[in-house]
């Protein structure tokens, strides 16, 4: 089955390909330079994912998926949330965002557990219409120093519950079993099977 992923983030595309497997042929918007990704003006992950999927699917018969995902840290009132990718500014690097996050947390009590979760919502659209949304979350905590070289974004400082490793220390096969995106993709895959039947 062919899927268009409404992103130009190569890390995200690779992860989606790994999660969906060989039964799906996933391309992203690097192959379609004329397609604009709508601005993330929504107030929730679901709203932003929907904006991107529906926007990229206009006048397109192929199935389009888009996700919005991010980190919610309890000690920061749920920040960075929907602003995860641009927490330190519009063109911030992953390192900039992690540094800002750890800087914000450093002002909190030292004995406070930095409970957090990654949340992902995937929207599925076709021909300008939303077909459904699929959500996954993984609970964990923030560690005070980045660890590991795999993954991207906040992976080096997020340690999921039940593990001694951060996402960036895990081999991709393990992360792809337990991550928020893996959970959302599992629900998406089930819906796509229904569509394919």
Active site positions, annotated: 68
Please give the sequence-ordered ranges of beta strands (E in DSSP) within the chain, or none if there are none.
2-5, 25-28, 63-73, 115-126, 129-142, 158-160
β-pairing, 2-5 with 63-73?
A: parallel
Answer yes or no: are the C-beta atoms of 130 and 43 closer than 8 Å.
no
Q: Which residues, 6+ apart, have CB-to-CB distance to 117 below 8 Å? A: 71, 72, 137, 138, 139, 140, 180
DSSP string, 36-54: PPPP---SSHHHHHHHHHH
Cα separation, 71 vs 129, in Å, equals: 28
Cα separation, 135 vs 86, in Å, equals: 21
Q: How far is CA 48 from CA 12, 53, 142, 197, in A?
A: 16, 9, 25, 29
């Amino acid at each position: 089955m062919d899927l268009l992923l409404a992103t130009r983030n190569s890390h995200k595309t690779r992860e989606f390909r790994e999660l969906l497997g060989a039964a799906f042929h996933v391309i992203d918007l690097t192959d379609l330079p004329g397609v604009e990704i709508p601005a993330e003006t929504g107030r929730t992950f679901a709203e932003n994912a929907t904006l991107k999927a529906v926007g990229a699917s206009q006048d397109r018969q192929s199935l389009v998926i888009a996700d919005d995902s991010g980190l919610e840290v309890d000690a920061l009132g749920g920040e960075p949330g929907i602003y995860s990718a641009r927490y330190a500014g519009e063109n911030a690097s992953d390192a900039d965002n992690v540094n800002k996050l750890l800087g914000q947390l450093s002002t909190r009590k030292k004995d406070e557990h930095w409970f957090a979760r990654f949340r992902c919502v995937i929207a599925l659209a076709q021909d300008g219409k939303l077909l459904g949304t699929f959500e996954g979350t993984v609970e964990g905590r923030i560690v005070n120093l980045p660890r590991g070289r795999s993954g991207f974004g906040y992976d080096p400082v997020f340690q999921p519950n039940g593990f001694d490793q951060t996402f960036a220390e895990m081999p991709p096969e393990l992360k792809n079993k337990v991550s928020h995106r893996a959970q959302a993709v599992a629900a998406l895959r089930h819906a796509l099977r229904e569509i394919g039947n």
